[in-house]
Amino acid sequence: MTAFDATPVEPPLTRWRLPPAHRADKHGLVGVGADLEPGTLLLAYRNGLFPMPIDRWGVAWWSPNPRGVLPLDTLKVSKSLRQSCRKYEVRFNTCFREVMTRCGDPNRPNGWINEPFIEAYHVMHTLGWAHSVEVFDSAGELVGGLYGVRINHFFAGESMFSVARDASKVALVALVDELRAADVSLLDVQWSTDHLASLGAIEIPRDRYLRLLDQAIVL
């Protein structure tokens, strides 16, 4: 049994047509508009796009080139991180909204998650598409976590937070273990950062990413 065994509920189809990923500009921006209904979000992820809020226009859709991914067989876990993994308790899908809200803390640098996004992804969670990994300290306090969207053998990591040493890294290690058990083949991290690169994330061309995505979302 894994955290991803339940079959998600397929929502109604979106009324929107989203531009193809290869139309992205040099910054990775594909288009602006549409909505955050579950059908729209799933169509986007299935076609290599992901949303972020953008000023007064509402929702922007992105497909960066190169694309950040974390190969599940090359996750780098240091000795100190292994020790941290034994220090915390990890749970799945027990407080999704709180994890996403903490990820969206407006005091965090480059915070982008707003209330409409929290509401939209909470609906995705209730339908079985969005998942959270939660890290608790010995006092039972939530000190780290991450959330993302899983479609068949694909997982889109959206954001993570940490208020204790290595807590977000512990969440990622737990996620990768769970994804391996669920035969997930593609972990998307959108843009690679120094933090993610230190854990094994790499960048690949958009075309290669889209090929891997097509393979991963097939049942």
What CATH number belongs to 67-204? 3.40.630.70
Q: Facing residues of 54 across strands?
A: 58
Domain borders along the chain are 67-204
Query: What SS3 class is residue 142?
Result: strand
The average pLDDT across 3-30 equals 95
The average pLDDT across 63-91 equals 96
Query: What SS3 class is residue 180?
Result: helix
Identify each DSSP E strand in 23-120 by its residue range: 29-32, 50-54, 58-62, 67-69, 89-92
Q: Would you say how long the chain is, in residues?
A: 219
Q: How confident is the model at residue 56 (pLDDT cuts 50, 70, 90)?
A: low
pLDDT of residue 110: 66
Write a three-state SS string for 95-136: CHHHHHHHHCCCCCCCCCCCHHHHHHHHHHHHCCCEEEEEEE
Whether the pLDDT of residue 21 is over 80: the answer is yes
The average pLDDT across 167-181 equals 97
Where is pLDDT greater, at 112 or 177? 177
The average pLDDT across 184-206 equals 95
Torsion over CA: 95, 100, 101, 107 (sign): positive
Structure tokens at 148: 């993302």
Whether the pLDDT of residue 26 is over 90: the answer is yes
To the question of pTM greater than 0.85 for the whole model, the response is yes
